Amino acid sequence: QVKIDIDRAERTEKLQGMGCKRKRVEDIRFTQGKGSYVDDLKLPGMLFGDFVRSPHAHARIVSIDTSRAKALPGVIAVLTAADLKPLGLHYMPTLAGDVQAVLAEHKVLFQNQEVAFVIAEDRYIASDATELVDVVYEALPCIVDPFKSMLPDAPILREDIQDKMVGAHGPRKHPNHIFEWQIGDRQATDDVFANADVTIKEMLVDHRTHPSPLETCQSLASFDKVKGELTLWGTFQAPHVIRTVVSLISGLPEHKIHVIAPDIGGGFGNKVGAYAGYVCSVVGSIVLGVPVKWVEDRMENLSTTSFARDYHMTTELAATKEGKIIGMRVHVLADHGAFDACADPSKWPAGFMNICTGSYDIPVAYLAVDGVYTNKAPGGVAYRCSFRVTEAVFAIERAIEVLAQKLGMDAAELRIKNFIKAEQFPYHSALGWEYDSGDYHTAMKKAMDAIGYTSLRAEQAEKREAFKRGETRELMGVGISFFTEIVGAGPAKNCDILGIAMFDSAEIRIHPTGSVIARMGTKSQGQGHETTYAQIIATELGIPADDIMIEEGNTDTAPYGLGTYGSRSTPVAGAATAVAARKIKAKAQMIAAHMLEVHEGDLEWDIDRFRVKGLPEKFKTMKEIAWSAYNAPPPNLEPGLEAVNYYEPPNMTYPFGAYFCVMDIDVDTGVAKTRRFYALDDCGTRINPMIIEGQVHGGLTEAFACAMGQEIRYDEMGNVMGASFMDFFLPTAVETPKWETDFTVTPSPHHPIGAKGVGESPHVGGVPCFSNAVNDAYAFLDAGHIQMPHDAWRLWKVGERLGLHG
């Protein structure tokens, strides 16, 4: 028996399947500088494009003169809206049902908006020529503050749609209004608030920021005039959707469009949408018949392609005096910038903001969101989150702390008192979601024990007394966040993009020798898909992960999928992978039965083989079965061993986590130091614990950035203030705190392997945890809610406001 057990353990280990800390296979090329990114691609005769951009946030275009630019040696063409208009391409559809100018026609609506596209022999000539395009502007008053957007005398921004009183998401109240979205029981919620013992109301701002991946957005279009075929390489998180959109807007048949997303250097939502650069490189190549490349620079990336957040959330909670939350009411003013280019599933104009009841059993709630136009860059992407869930979690996790303070209760105790209980799952939230599984009390207890919560509070009480006595100038904050995410968009009944249901796919082919190629409709941007999908297949099919090659990103070879964002790869394509593998396994069982001359029902699966029940020495390994599938399949069974699955998830998955942050703040400098940060994540079944840890580290680092300094700010003229890494905080290893990670496992009941997504959880849970730590540090001084970002200057100003500087 011992020998058999050792043998089984060795066979299992050899697979490097689920649960194993398999090293990332893609890192072999990344760490040697051998990744292949869009800008590494060089095609014969390739030209380069660059944009002329508006210096104004709001201005009329009086004239555009391209003659000086065209005269510069090496310049091949200069495109303006006048060139695109006859092709119907001066506007492009956005994912949110709006249209966005590809090149500005009569007006510019945000600083750095695209006005003309210069195509030249090299990048430098193109850049020089942009300065030779003479554009005469007539400046107009601009709107930067979303609260002024719908004032009666506000300048009308979108003249192209000013008479359209019904938009993609219903009636518009003002020419600068985009939509109003309401959900929940308004009357019942108002009634609860009218009679509650205790209520709180706070304006919580999740400020404008940017995903800022290291690699900017880029594309390379190559049109073959003879074949009428377009090949488009680009930084696409969703290559198939890009192919469909290109077909719809260009009129090229979809089968003549080949979209390829090679290696991608981070996406975080920035690479979901369609941008003017993609369209212009395609048009340039179709018109000129040679390849045209477009590569954004850092300032262009930060100031034009996709912002995140900019949610102004009036958040209210109602509770009994014992601390039972009985209602939640939220109004969001959402600043969408100049065009509604938010990347959300079509039916969700405010994404999944209605997950804002969080991890708590709140009986009634009402949420209303108003989207407005301002003179800022468009976008509204899910920066490392699932469609506004970061905003939602920030609202509830800050609000619950404000409530705890008003009730005079401990913030952890208030959370525990209101948690949805393990036996309440599947749980139906007041705002319409069905949470699949959770065990919040267990996770919270584990986290509190690990961080030593009680002694931290005791230490904090002593420090506060010492501060009051003038013995220290340091404040100590304990930040808590207990978040519930909603990832894996999603079920066709409520999730589609431009009418395409948000399924995903996997195709697995086993070769005669037993090695495998598998392709998915998703696209890794650094998450390690080549490593982890192989682990799912390894466990399901008993083939070592090292014998399995994963390929994504080529629309000619990969099955159609909706791409990678919103932590949907594992919940959707991961499920497709398991289901496709199980189809193969079912066929393999038939082949094995034939080979062993037994009935299928007499076989049982054992790690990497089918064996005859009760006769373990009679077996066929998956490798042997693969050979037989091509060599001598059973009669009436087609040869080969492959399967494809398009997986439409029955529900989202709901990962959760308990985060604690201990922070020390020097009131005289405003410098905040993170002493400890503990993150417990529950993402259901864990495929690769090492990759999960890496995802958590990355997500927490971005949460730290957003909470503690990162911001895209505008001055009153609409000048963007955060458009370079001099001004936009991107933490390096020097600033980044040390992370402590932990986990519990509560599998998803509807996912084939019980896995939930994890890539974004740490960001979603991390932002409020940092902000709560800062707020908690100042709470005993009656500071009121302190808005993010919490950089040293702003915290110093808090000290000044409170008269702490002597």
Cα 680–Cα 684–Cα 690 angle in degrees, nearest 5: 65
Q: Is 16 in the site for ligand CDP (CB under 6 A)?
A: no
787 vs 369, 449, 730, 790, CA distance in Å?
Answer: 20, 30, 19, 7
Q: How far is the CB of 708 from ligand CDP (least distance, A)?
A: 23
396 contact partners, CB below 8 Å, separation of at least 6: 315, 328, 356, 357, 358, 360
Give the position of tokens 């006595």: 469
Cβ atoms 419, 360 nearer than 8 A: yes
Q: Can residue 567 be called a binding residue for ligand CDP (CB under 6 A)? A: yes
- Least separation in angstroms between residue 166's CB and ligand CDP is 35
3-state secondary structure of 646: strand
In angstroms, the CA 666 to CA 681 distance is: 30
Closest Cα partner for 545 from 8, 26, 109?
A: 26
384 is catalytic: yes
Strands (E), 373-473: 427-428, 434-435
What is the closest distance, in whole angstroms, from the C-beta atom of residue 261 to ligand CDP in the complex?
Answer: 14
Q: How far apart are CA 666 and CA 633, in angstroms?
A: 74
Of the pair 562, 706, the CB lying nearest ligand CDP is at 562
Active site residue 237: yes
Considering only 686, 750, 785, 790, the residue that binds ligand CDP (CB under 6 A) is: 686
Among 49, 273, 528, 544, binds ligand CDP (CB under 6 A): 528
Cα–Cα distances in angstroms (integers) from residue 486 to residues 333, 356, 360, in the given order: 22, 11, 14
Give yes or no for residue 66 binding ligand CDP (CB under 6 A).
Answer: no
Residue 687, SS3 per DSSP: coil
CB of 9 to ligand CDP, least distance (A): 22
Stretch that binds ligand CDP, among 346-354, 434-442, 502-510, 528-536 (CB under 6 A): 528-536
Tokens at residue 24, please?
């990332």
Which of 217, 356, 385, 769 is catalytic? The answer is 385
Residues 729 to 768: which contact ligand CDP by CB under 6 A? Answer: 755-759
Q: How many residues bind ligand CDP (CB under 6 A)?
A: 23
Nearer of residues 460 and 564 to ligand CDP, judged by Cβ: 564
- In the list 684, 699, 718, 766, the residue contacting ligand CDP (rule: CB under 6 A) is 684
Closest distance of CB 48 from ligand CDP, Å: 31
Are the CB atoms for 259 and 243 separated by under 8 Å?
Answer: yes
- Residue 408 beta carbon to ligand CDP: minimum distance, rounded to whole angstroms: 39
Q: Is 803 helix (H, G, I), strand (E, B) or coil?
A: coil
Residue 604 dihedral angles phi and psi, to the nearest 5°:
-135, 150
The span of 37-45, 50-58, 392-400, 686-694 binding ligand CDP (CB under 6 A) equals: 686-694
Among 312, 463, 529, 585, binds ligand CDP (CB under 6 A): 529
Contact 609, 618 (CB under 8 A): no
Binding test (CB under 6 A) with ligand CDP, winner from 16, 209, 505, 532: 532
| Residue number, 282 or 758, with CB nearest to ligand CDP | 758
Judged by CB under 6 A, the stretch of 434-442, 524-532, 612-620, 631-639 that binds ligand CDP is: 524-532
Concerning whether 624 is annotated as a catalytic residue, the answer is no
Rg over alpha carbons for the chain, rounded to the nearest Å, is 28
For the CB of residue 496, give the shortest distance to ligand CDP in the complex, in Å.
18
- Output the six-digit token pair for 743: 């986990």
Q: Kindly tell me which of 309 and 568 has the beta carbon lying closer to ligand CDP.
A: 568
Contact 346, 499 (CB under 8 A): yes
* Residue in 187, 567, 147, 189 with CA at minimum distance from that of residue 356: 189
Residue with smaller CB distance to ligand CDP, 570 or 744? 570
Work out how close the CB of 503 gets to ligand CDP at its nearest, in angstroms, rounded to a whole number. 14
From 309, 384, 415, 609, the catalytic residue:
384
Identify residues 687-726 at the interface with ligand CDP (CB under 6 A).
687-688, 691-692, 695
Instruction: Please give the structure tokens belonging to residue 28.
Output: 């072999």
Query: Does 130 contact ligand CDP by CB under 6 A?
Result: no
- CB of residue 245 vs ligand CDP: minimum separation in angstroms? 20
Task: Identify residues 568-597 at the interface with ligand CDP (CB under 6 A).
Answer: 568-570
Question: b vs e for 421-459, b when ≥16 Cβ sit within 10 Å of the residue's Cβ?
Answer: eeeebebebbbebebbbbbbeebbebbbeebebeebeee
Range 616-645, binding ligand CDP (CB under 6 A): none
Positions touching ligand CDP (CB under 6 A) are 527-529, 532, 564, 567-570, 683-688, 691-692, 695, 755-759
Active-site positions read 237, 384-385, 760
